[in-house]
Amino acid sequence: MWFDLANWDAATGPIYMGANGSAEVIWTVLAALVCIWALIMGSRHELDAYKKMKK
């Protein structure tokens, strides 16, 4: 990703890895998917816990 830079003295503007490419969108979508997956799994665990209490 990743760095096409020979000398930091020449660096201006964005300095993150993957700047000016498509990496920003890919990682943002992936991070959002992690959040959604965690919520789905969390919800399952919580509902299972309530069911257990009913029994």
Residue 15: CB minimum distance to another protein, A: 6
Distance CA(7)–CA(10), nearest Å, equals 6
- Minimum distance, C-beta of residue 3 to another protein, in the bound complex (Å): 4
To the nearest whole angstrom, how small is the minimum distance from the Cβ of residue 20 to another protein? 11
> Quick check: 18 and 1 in contact, CB under 8 A?
yes
Binding residues (CB under 8 A) for another protein: these are 1-9, 11, 15-19, 23-24, 27-28, 30-32, 34-35, 37-38, 41-42, 45, 49, 52
Q: What is the dihedral of CA 8, 3, 13, 21, to 10 degrees?
A: 170
